[in-house]
């Protein structure tokens, strides 16, 4: 299962039933779990932690040092969960002293050419399109779809169950359950298809829709809009998520 043309540092820890193709480089201080497929010309560098059942395609680089001039060689990691598909030429940098780790959760698809910068946190069940670039210390919540060639500014957060249209660039937070796109980036309605596919009830979808009508179409500022949401919309977990996300936004939300 391990090509004789691969290089594996003697201190690296490799689990069971791992397939490693030719010209793979695995550095020291690397831990790789069970049932992974690592295709030719993959580089898994110092500080990488790979879970179980991942497929990593040719040219991917995991654990390279951050592209951040503040980095001083501190001990940090790049952590990948389970059952991810990491396509060709994806780069996942390890963390800096800011958070000490970059994290990609489980059951994600990172398409060709995706870049995950230092200290980023990507949740579970996300699809990230070709050539999308995510700057340092971003957060992407679970079950998000980000289309191709999206540019995400540092420190931004994207809420769960959101869909971001291809070619979008943004420097503010994008709340959950919506579609974001256009130039400049704007709220484009609910991610209705995504919510229905994920089993959200019609009642829940209607509550989410009513909350966003208040937030985006009432003409009120954010504080007043959230107050009205709390007063008029049943505070289900989904509505609490929206309100909490917006109240805790450090960069403000897209409009």
Q: Is 134 exposed, middle or buried (0-12, 13-18, 19+ CB in 10 A)?
A: buried
Catalytic amino acids?
118-119, 136
How far is Cα 118 from Cα 63, in angstroms, rounded to an integer?
9
Q: What are phi and psi of 211, to 5 degrees?
A: -60, -45
Residue 143 DSSP SS3: coil
Provide the 8-state DSSP code for 65: P
A 10 A CB-CB count for 88 gives 17
- Helix pair angle (222-232, 237-247), 10° resolution: 160
Taking a C-beta distance cutoff of 8 angstroms, is the pair 214, 228 a contact? yes
């Amino acid at each position: 299962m391990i090509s004789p043309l691969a290089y594996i540092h003697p201190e690296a820890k490799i689990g069971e039933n791992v397939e490693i193709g030719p010209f793979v480089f695995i550095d020291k201080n690397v831990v790789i779990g069970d049932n992974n497929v690592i295709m030719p010309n993959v580089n898994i560098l110092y500080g990488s932690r790979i879970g179980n059942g991942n497929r990593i395609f040719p040219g991917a680089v995991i654990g390279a040092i951050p592209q951040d001039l503040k980095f001083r060689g501190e001990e940090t990691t790049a952590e990948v969960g389970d059952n991810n598909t990491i396509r060709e030429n994806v780069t996942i940098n390890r963390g800096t002293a800011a958070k000490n780790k970059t994290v990609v959760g489980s059951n994600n698809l990172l398409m060709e050419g995706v870049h995950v910068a230092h200290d980023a946190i990507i949740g579970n069940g996300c699809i990230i399109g070709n050539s999308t670039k995510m700057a340092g210390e971003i957060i992407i919540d679970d079950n998000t779809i980000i289309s191709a060639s999206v540019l995400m500014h540092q420190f931004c957060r994207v809420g769960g169950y959101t869909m971001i249209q291809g070619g979008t660039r943004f420097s503010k937070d994008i709340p959950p359950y919506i579609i974001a796109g256009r130039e400049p980036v704007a709220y484009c309605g609910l991610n209705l298809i995504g919510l229905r596919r994920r089993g959200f009830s019609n009642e829940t979808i209607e509550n989410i829709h009513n909350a966003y009508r208040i937030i985006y179409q009432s003409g009120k500022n954010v504080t007043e809009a959230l107050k009205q949401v709390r007063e008029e919309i049943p505070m289900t977990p989904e509505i609490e998520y929206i309100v909490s996300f917006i109240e805790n936004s450090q960069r403000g939300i897209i409009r």
